[in-house]
Amino acid sequence: MKCQYFQKNAALFIGGELSSQKTKKLHKHLDQCMSCRKYFENLQISKRLFSKAIREQSIAPLDQSFTESVMNHIPDKQLTYITPRKTSKLRLTWAGPAAALVITFAFFIIRGFIMNKPQSEDFDRFPLVEKTEPNITVMTFQIDDPKITIVWFFENDNNNNKENDYAM
């Protein structure tokens, strides 16, 4: 065993936090290597000193007033079970597929527009003019692929011809 390996594990070795197999290996190395023994002893001294210092640290005991103070701060009402929020997890589960679905739809719609961009002659080919009211003229253009309908409403004013455009 290399000293580097021993020194890497020595800090856990003194705390008894290694597996029995590793502990045996380190014990064996410790019997053979003087420098690692010194390293181990220093760690042990430090650990013992800190343990003793912590144990002997004087911490004033809490008195009855502390208990009373806590009891005064807690509410009188009956405790109720707080239901864990399960919905958030559910929402996250569905958010991914929903987003993927929206993106797919958007992709196909945009692709359809790009691939089948309506040409100006398409509009010229199918002008449909309807006259429903005496003072309003409705003009409709339709294209089949992609299906687009443009409807124009012309307000027939005797004095001033006003146009209102509406597109659908």
List the alpha helices (DSSP H) in 33-128.
34-56, 64-73, 87-115, 120-125
Question: Residue 142 pairs with which residues in a beta bridge?
Answer: 149
DSSP track, 101-153 = HHHHHHHHHHHHHHHTPPPHHHHHH-EEEEEEETTEEEEEEEETTTTEEEEEE
Q: Does 79 bind another protein (CB under 8 A)?
A: yes
The answer for residues whose C-beta is within 8 angstroms of residue 134's C-beta and 6 or more apart is 156
Count residues binding another protein (CB under 8 A): 38
Return the residue of 4, 21, 34, 61 that touches another protein, per CB under 8 A.
61
Helix (H) or strand (E) holding 154: strand 148-155
Reading the block at residue 84, the tokens are 């864990």
Interacting positions 11-30 with another protein (CB under 8 A): 11-12, 14-15, 17
Smallest separation (angstroms) from another protein to the CB of 35 = 14
Q: Does 51 bind another protein (CB under 8 A)?
A: yes
Q: Which stretch binds another protein (CB under 8 A): 47-55, 89-97, 111-119, 147-155?
A: 47-55
Q: Does 70 bind another protein (CB under 8 A)?
A: yes
Smallest separation (angstroms) from another protein to the CB of 90 = 20
Q: Which residues bind another protein (CB under 8 A)?
A: 11-12, 14-15, 17, 42-43, 45-47, 49-62, 66-67, 69-71, 73-75, 78-82, 84
